[in-house]
Amino acid sequence: MNETRSAPTVAGPSGTTPSAAESSGRFWSPRRVPAALVAVLLLACAGLLLYDIAAVRAHHPAMRWRRELARNLAERPLDDTWVLAGAALAVALGLWLIALAVTPGLRGLLPMRRPHPDVRAALRRDAARLVLRDRAMDVAGVRAARVRVRRRKADVRAVSHFRDPDDVRADLDTVLTDAIGDLALARPPRLSVHVTRPGRKG
């Protein structure tokens, strides 16, 4: 006997249909770890450079690493392997930081419709997957079901053991379409259902 988990529902005002403007929108990740790593690295480099400059102003010799760096930058040609490798590393790091800055992250959260302007809600993909899987297992003839929920697509693969696969697929389409509607997602994923027979043993 399968236990059915109730899906969260968000109802709008009577007689109205929630529009795209009433969605919660993507949730942005604070990305504290990358920000902290970059801040610590920049602080350490700036502090070391400032200390060396202050030492030179106080008539002390510059640190060896800065003298070596200045000599290498002056002597090495632009097509040197180490220069190209350092440039490639800097470009890769910059592109990574830009990607973190312009993308929201938190791909595990599916934005939901907003019943009120001051309310924002999201549903975890794992929770949506469990709801759809439980609904699929309640369909007669479904022996096993595997569900994968993405931002734009919900892929359901079921195994039918005593009913015709076409009939099972039709029932799954109806049941899971209603289940996706009950999730009250801002952008309901497109449903894809595949039904197969169990493989023969031996």
Q: What is the pLDDT of residue 14?
A: 38
Of 175, 74, 186, 99, the residue nearest 133 (C-alpha): 175
Cα dist from 99 to 35, 40, 103, 118, 169, whole Å: 13, 20, 6, 29, 40
10 Å CB burial of residue 179 (0-12, 13-18, 19+) is: buried
- Written as one letter, the residue type at 184 is A
Question: pLDDT confidence of 61, banded at 50, 70, 90?
Answer: confident
What is the reported pLDDT for 173? 95
Asked if 173 and 165 count as a contact pair (C-beta separation under 8 A), the reply is: no
Q: What is the pLDDT of residues 175-192, one digit of tens each?
A: 999 999 999 898 899 999
- Apex 74 CA angle, 69 and 78, nearest 5: 100
Characterize the bridge pairing of strands 142-149 and 122-124: unpaired
Q: What is the mean pLDDT of the chain?
A: 82
Asked whether 129 and 147 are in contact (CB, 8 A), the reply is: yes
Residue whose tokens read 């790593």: 37
Other Cβ atoms less than 10 A from the Cβ of 135: the count is: 24
Average of per-residue pLDDT across 58-74: 82
Cα distance between residue 150 and residue 132, in whole Å: 13
Rounded mean pLDDT, 161-172? 92
- The yes-or-no verdict on residue 27 having pLDDT over 90 is no
